[in-house]
Amino acid sequence: MNSIDTTGWSTSAHQIGERAWRWLEVHYRQFELPSDVPVGELDAVRHLKPIAELALVGSIATREGSLGRHAAGVAETLMEFGWAQLRGGDLLVDLLRERPFDTFALESYVSFVRAGRRHGELEALLAHLTTLRSARVPEHPPNRTLAVLNAQRLVGLDAAWDPSVVLARTWLGATPEPWAADLATLYAMTHTVFHLTDFGARPRGLPSELQDYLGAWLPVWLDVYLEAGHWDIVAELLVVDLCLSEPTYPPGAWPRVAAAQLPDGMLPAEAWRDTRNPATRARNHYHSTVLAALAGTVAVARQLDSRRS
Amino acid sequence: MDQVSLPPRALYAAAIEALTGRIVRALTGSDDAFRLGEGLVDDDELAGLAAVRVLGPDVLTPYTVGASRLNTQDAEVLVAAFTAFPGTDHPVASVPAWRDWATAQWLNNLGVDRAISDSVATYSAGSTTYEDPWAGWSDTQMSWQDWSSLLAQLAPLATPGMGSPVHQRALNRMLDTARGATRAVLRGDHLTAAQLARWLVAILGLTPGPGVLTVAPLLRHLELIGGGDLKMQLHIAVARAAIPTGPLDESR
């Protein structure tokens, strides 16, 4: 059981990614913004977050180009869809006019920037907001501040903070007792890693002592949440592994996630959550399926480009 | 041989609970004159002897890490327990065999009459008396999960002064042991967590190596949230008694 399986994980990763992209292709339209709700009343979680997350996985697939023509085509479709939903960025400007100090617009916009779409007026507004003293004292959880920081870097704004100072205030930055983890702290940890490395593009963004820490304890957290059938956090943890300088591609985990994935490509968020009700199915399980697409895409990319720094 | 009529299960459980509680008290300082045989026969002698067998080498911890002194009567209780419940049906290389082996080792180390430790060894698992129960054992095929599960079952060996092939391997598998302890806490399995924390103290003390767990906060955490399970408390008490100097350093 100690020997590293060099092929089994890779077959599973391909399968997970390809199937998830098929599901996204069929279901993304369910996340159209309602036409009858004013911009200021759009709900961040219900309406805007799915658009941003579909764009995120689309932008990473566009960047990596690893999963073949079908996935690349769906990724482009998702970018077009999201950009159209945001009216080519105009909606984000409208959002900022309503709520100028909410960083959601920047955090969403960065995915479109990653995939080559830009909006001049929006960037002028974001640049102005970034210079405010107000922007220098974020009351966000530190891992969210890292999201803003990564977005500022990619958009080309002057970063308001030193990432190492912010990192020191995250859960991961404290190298906590690994048994003092729960879902809340682990999601904070995964996001810290995602934003420091830009979802695996730059593993060097994560200091080596934290890479060592994760190398020691990721296997345990994976084991516990695989046993629990909490596929959403499992997929996040697999992506964290892919963001390290030397991913381990946990050989026991990938086939189990592949086995949990439904034939249509949906990865259930949790093993115990209902997957049959057509009214709630996509909404309850899109996040884990986006992660499945992301994990499969980055896994294949890292396999092809394992020495990335 | 006459069929012995075994006491009911509840009597066994009560005897194990009572003996475990007495050992915990002996180790935590409120009983410094622990006598193994004391109280064993109050309700049912056979249940008392069964409790001695269930706790294995840990019945000797008041003498090995605690302040009590073993005498011949204490040692003879062990002979009676092994006679009533021999381990000779167990395979040679198995957890019961290794636990029995450790009991015999301790009796030797504690300087009891050779005839007594020999007679314990005779009734031990897989024995001909001096057969090496470790012959052929290897952990090289064990995942960290399998390794830490085995180590948890062998927690009675994690006592200062004891040495075995498992101890030698445990030095090289500290991270796997710490992973097992972490996994146990996250699964709410506080007994296993305490068993593995005991190993970490036995092998590592409280000074963490890089990437390895700091044990002091884990022990404290288990004490405070692990509930009243006496078996768990026994492992924590042995771990604490094994710490060479003063109070736990909580600063790291």
pLDDT tens-digit series, residues B96-116: 989 999 998 899 888 888 888
> Which one, of A307, A187, A283, A180, lies nearest residue A235 by Cα?
A187
Low-confidence ranges of chain A (pLDDT < 50): 1-4
Q: What chain A residue is nearest to B215 in terms of C-alpha separation?
A: A177
ipTM of model: 0.93
| Angle in degrees, 0-180, between the axes of helices B174-186 and B190-204, rounded to the nearest 10 | 160
The 10s digit of each residue's pLDDT in A129-139 is 999 998 887 78
The answer to whether B143 contacts A2, with C-beta atoms less than 8 Å apart, is yes
> CB contact, 8 Å: A98 with chain B?
no
What Rg do the C-alpha atoms of chain A give, in angstroms?
A: 19
Instruction: Give the C-alpha separation, A1 to B87, whole Å.
Output: 31
The 10s digit of each residue's pLDDT in B25-61 is 999 986 678 999 887 766 678 999 999 999 999 999 9
pTM for the whole structure: 0.93
- For chain B, how many residues are written? 252
Chosen from A223, A224, A230, A234 to mutate, greatest number of chain B CBs within 10 A: A223
> Which one, of B72, B76, B65, lies nearest residue B29 by Cα?
B65
Which ranges constitute the DSSP H helices of A44-171?
49-64, 68-85, 90-98, 104-114, 120-131, 142-155, 163-168
The answer to whether A223 contacts B183, with C-beta atoms less than 8 Å apart, is yes
Which tokens sit at B232?
């768990």
Question: Do B151 and B166 form a contact (C-beta atoms < 8 A)?
Answer: yes
pLDDT at residue number B128: 53
Instruction: Give the C-alpha separation, A63 to A308, whole Å.
Output: 14
| Residue A2, helix vs strand vs coil | coil
The answer to whether B179 contacts A1, with C-beta atoms less than 8 Å apart, is no
Q: What chain B residue is nearest to A217 in terms of C-alpha separation?
A: B179
From B141, B183, B221, residue closest to A224, measured CB to CB: B183
